[in-house]
Amino acid sequence: MDGGSREPPALTDPPDGPLHVGVDLGTAYLVLVVLDQHNRPVVGEYQFAQVVRDGLVVDFIGAVDRLTEMKRRVERRLGRELTHASSGYPPGVPQAERRATANVVEAAGLRCTGLVDEPTAANAVLGLQNGAIVDVGGGTTGIAIIRDGEVVYTADEATGGTHFSLVIAGARDIPFEQAEAMKIHPAEQARLFPVIRPVMEKVGSIVARHVAQYQEQSGEQVEQLVLVGGTSRFPRMDSVVEAYTGVPTYVPQRPLFVTPLGFAMYDDSPDGI
């Protein structure tokens, strides 16, 4: 999937059947993905943006403008118009703020076919039957415990990729934007690991506390953790969380796209476009 820094070429063999579209308004990244009628990824785009904070839209115009441009570029690649999309929200976000997310999608020219909570969307892709999905986003860490394929416990607390960047900026005495770019540069990550390890451990402590709370309430053990969200891409994130929680921890390929792909799977337009 493309990061939006250049205009990518048109697809050589675009699908001609119904499409499913997902939009993720994250704290650090906006993501737009398109699936074909069989829920196979076709095309997508993402870009860094600070228009949403912890699930709340704080820059409506900026969000609409950026999403509109992403939609335009994806349509050029597909050679057809996108008319609808599904989106979602972190656990615990008030109803009014959920509606604000739908308003951004619709203001960008996409009919919002539905809103689904992030853990449910992620599990549509992962198919986890028992365990926990940990969504380490830009501003918060969300945890959803799954039992028999259903979400039975959710929590969401501050600490995420933005905190990584703030710590880097402070340690290196550089602007936040430069720290953000450094954080995602593979050549810099080994050097930065000791700097941001305490933030990773904070994520681990959040997860450990909620897992312990759930296990005490239910008497059920959480047997595995799956990390999703862009921050999970940082090398050794899984090993730090596993060491802190004592629970086997995994990161799927392209964790930034797991939840957006799940949103798209919930985009079921009656017009079949």
- CATH number at 33 reads 3.30.420.40
Of the two residues 27 and 272, the one the predictor is more confident about is: 27
Q: What are phi and psi of 269, to 5 degrees?
A: -80, 130
Residue at 53 is within a domain: yes
pLDDT of residue 176: 92
Q: In terms of residue numbers, what domain contains 57?
A: 20-118+257-265
Given a cut of 70, is residue 5 above it in pLDDT? no
CB 156 within 8 A of CB 141: yes
Region 245-268: what's the mean pLDDT? 94
pLDDT of residue 272: 46
Which pLDDT band holds residue 2 (cuts at 50, 70, 90)?
low
137-168 pLDDT, tens per residue?
888 898 999 999 999 999 988 898 899 999 99
Residue at 203 is within a domain: no
Compute the mean pLDDT over every residue in the chain, rounded to the nearest whole number.
Answer: 90
Number of domains in the chain: 1
Region 179-187: what's the mean pLDDT? 92
Which pLDDT band holds residue 119 (cuts at 50, 70, 90)?
confident
Which pLDDT band holds residue 89 (cuts at 50, 70, 90)?
confident
- Give the CA-trace dihedral at 108, 265, 259, 78, to 10 degrees: -50
Angle at 264 between CA 255 and CA 18, to 5 degrees: 135
Region 219-237: what's the mean pLDDT? 94
Residue at 129 is within a domain: no
pLDDT of residue 1: 63
Distance in angstroms (rounded) separating the CA atoms of residues 189 and 5: 22
58-79 pLDDT, tens per residue?
889 999 999 999 999 999 999 9
Residue at 139 is within a domain: no
Residue at 85 is within a domain: yes
Given a cut of 50, is residue 86 above it in pLDDT? yes
Residue at 148 is within a domain: no
Residue at 2 is within a domain: no
Residue at 66 is within a domain: yes
Region 169-188: what's the mean pLDDT? 94
